[in-house]
Amino acid sequence: MRVDVYTPLLLSLLLPAVSPVIGRRVAPALAARVLTAAAVLTAAATTWSLVLLATTLLGSAPSVVAEAREDGQRLADPVPAAIGIAACAALTVVARRVHRAVRTERATRRALRRLAEGHPADTELIVAASPVPQAFAIPGRPGRILVTSAMLGALEPAERRVLLAHERAHLAHRHGALVTAVTLATAADPLLAPTRRAVAFLVERWADEQAAGAVGDRGATARALARAALTTCRTRPACALGFTDRAVTRRIAALQTAPPPRLWPVALAVLALGALSALCAADATNDMLALLTSVLF
Amino acid sequence: MAGTDTHGRAERRSAGELESEVLAALWATERPLTPAEIQAEIDGGLAYNTVHTILKRLYDKGLVLRDADGRRGAYRPAKNAAELTAEAMHEALDRGPDPIAALQQFVTGLSAEEERALRDLLGGGAV
């Protein structure tokens, strides 16, 4: 218990550290999936470890300890009370963050549903007559693609096909669900924030690769991204502030080289990280149950 | 790229996807388009008959208007629903960074240096 219970915390430092590298080297579809799976496992294990640490406060409750001593057992409390209290405080923060993240997700869904109102159910493309260049996928059944008239007007015919194929890939591969999962994992375990950013970037890369495959032209795909980004910038003052994570440039650069390999061994290693934290949490649970049993009976 | 190749790819696209492409082409321009003009405008060589069928379906759904601006046989997109959607979208955007910012948008911001690099990529032409 002493080691196991802290291991998930340690692993939630390791996973974000390797995430950006995985994101650059491994095929985006594979990388996004394994990073999300590992993040969800690690977040669940970390939260559970906090629960276990908080539970040790029960174990050191005076009456229980007194009783245990009467039995003549020497109770070795493996977790100092200060850590138990800290775990309780951390759990409160986690609960509040997850609650807020769930509320935001719901608000987003509601706002998106409103955007699809008034359009025929069997139509994939929803156009918004707006001078602001904008395009995004609306997940759901059926999924929709929202594009503004300004964005459509700015692109060449081949580039419009790239845009549609890109958004279609988001819907077909349920990228919304993937990003929601990693967002909730990050809400529970803020240390995973770099992994969330990596996955958010990777689903864009994934959709870019799908679009390049659909139109059969990586160059046209890169040009579509460039033109969309420049058009968006012209109308949005935020662009001039240099507030950017260079995401578009990195996506375009990736399209100008060959698609990255799938690299299964690396992907399996990432999954093993997640599995390891889950195993440690399970092992720590066993130790905890044994400890509680020895105290109470 | 061989013509048959692009044609073959067009055939593989579903009816729903082709509808999106025709609708996107109509929205991309200010003026009404005839089926022949749409055919030329759409990348990937669609048959004239296919364009016609798709236009009929879009018309039946009320997404396009026929004989627009007194031009016989020309189509333009119906604006009503699109304007309402734009209003709803701006309302959602104005409410703050969430919830639309949480979406996966096609592209995000650029720095000045990146902007120059992208202009070079597009051949320095007006964008």
Q: What is the pLDDT of residues A53-84, one digit of tens each?
A: 888 877 655 444 445 544 544 445 567 888 88
Please answer whether residues A221 and A160 qualify as being in contact, where contact means their C-beta atoms are separated by less than 8 angstroms: no
ipTM of the complex: 0.84
Query: CA of A98 to nearest chain B CA: how many angstroms apart?
Result: 15
Most A-contacting residue of B41, B46, B104, B111 (CB-CB within 10 A), to test interface: B104
Closest CA to B64 of A287, A252, A189, A127: A127
Whether residues B63 and B87 share a domain: the answer is: no
Query: CA of B10 to nearest chain A CA: how many angstroms apart?
Result: 9
Residue A109 main-chain phi, psi, to 5 deg: -55, -45
DSSP state of B105: B
- Supply the pTM of this predicted model: 0.88
In a domain, B95, yes or no: yes
A102, with CB counted inside 10 A (0-12, 13-18, 19+), is middle
What average pLDDT is seen over chain A? 87
Q: Which residues are A168's β-sheet partners?
A: none
In a domain, B98, yes or no: yes
Strands A144-148 and A125-128: parallel
Q: How far is CA A109 from CA A101, A120, A170, B100, in A?
A: 12, 19, 15, 9
In a domain, B51, yes or no: yes
H helices present in A60-173, as ranges: 62-70, 81-116, 149-154, 157-172
Closest residue to B27, CB basis, from A123, A127, A161: A127
Question: Could A248 and B118 be called an inter-chain contact, meaning their C-beta atoms sit closer than 8 Å?
Answer: yes
Q: What is the pLDDT of residues A93-150, one digit of tens each?
A: 999 999 999 998 888 888 888 888 888 888 999 999 999 888 999 998 889 999 999 9
* Measured distance CA(A139)–CA(A142) in Å, rounded: 8
Whether residues B72 and B98 share a domain: the answer is: no
Most B-contacting residue of A112, A148, A161 (CB-CB within 10 A), to test interface: A161
Closest residue to B107, CB basis, from A203, A222, A232: A232
Tokens found for residue A39 = 């993040």
Whether residues B22 and B72 share a domain: the answer is: yes
Per-residue confidence at B121, pLDDT binned at 50, 70, 90? confident
The domain spanning residue B46 has which CATH number?
A: 1.10.10.10
Taking CB atoms within 8 Å and a gap of at least 24, the contacts of B7-12 are B7/B44, B7/B45, B9/A215, B9/A216, B9/B44, B10/B44, B10/B45, B10/B46
Say if residue B4's pLDDT is above 50.
no
Whether residues B86 and B104 share a domain: the answer is: yes
Question: Could A179 and B104 be called an inter-chain contact, meaning their C-beta atoms sit closer than 8 Å?
Answer: yes
Last-in-domain residue among B56, B77, B98: B77
Distance of CA A168 to the CA centre of its chain: 20
Q: Which residues are A125's β-sheet partners?
A: A145
Q: Is A148 on the interface with B (CB under 8 A)?
A: yes
Question: Could A230 and B110 be called an inter-chain contact, meaning their C-beta atoms sit closer than 8 Å?
Answer: yes
Q: What is the pLDDT of residue B127?
A: 46
Say if residue A220's pLDDT is above 80.
yes
Question: Could B85 and A126 be called an inter-chain contact, meaning their C-beta atoms sit closer than 8 Å?
Answer: yes
Question: Could B82 and A132 be called an inter-chain contact, meaning their C-beta atoms sit closer than 8 Å?
Answer: no
Within 10 A of A70 (CB to CB), how many other CB atoms are there? 8
Q: Is A102 on the interface with B (CB under 8 A)?
A: no
Domain count within chain A: 1
Q: What is the pLDDT of residues A120-135, one digit of tens each?
A: 888 999 999 999 888 9
Whether residues B53 and B91 share a domain: the answer is: no
In a domain, B2, yes or no: no
A100, closest residue in chain B (CA to CA): B98
Query: Which residues of chain B neighbour A232 with C-beta distances below 8 Å?
Result: 107, 109
Range of the structural domain that residue B64 is part of? 15-77
Range picked from A16-30, A243-257, B3-17, B34-48 for highest mean pLDDT:
A16-30
Most B-contacting residue of A117, A230, A252 (CB-CB within 10 A), to test interface: A230
Whether residues B54 and B108 share a domain: the answer is: no
Please report how the helices A81-116 and A28-59 are oriented relative to each other, as an axis angle in degrees rounded to 10: 140
Range of the structural domain that residue A122 is part of? 4-296
Query: CA of A242 to nearest chain B CA: how many angstroms apart?
Result: 4
Query: CA of A255 to nearest chain B CA: how many angstroms apart?
Result: 12
Domain count within chain B: 2
Q: What is the pLDDT of residue B100?
A: 55
Query: CA of B34 to nearest chain A CA: how many angstroms apart?
Result: 16
Query: CA of B72 to nearest chain A CA: how many angstroms apart?
Result: 23
Whether residues B85 and B38 share a domain: the answer is: no
Query: Which residues of chain B neighbour A104 with C-beta distances below 8 Å?
Result: 98-99, 102
What average pLDDT is seen over chain B? 80
Whether residues B39 and B88 share a domain: the answer is: no
DSSP state of A125: E
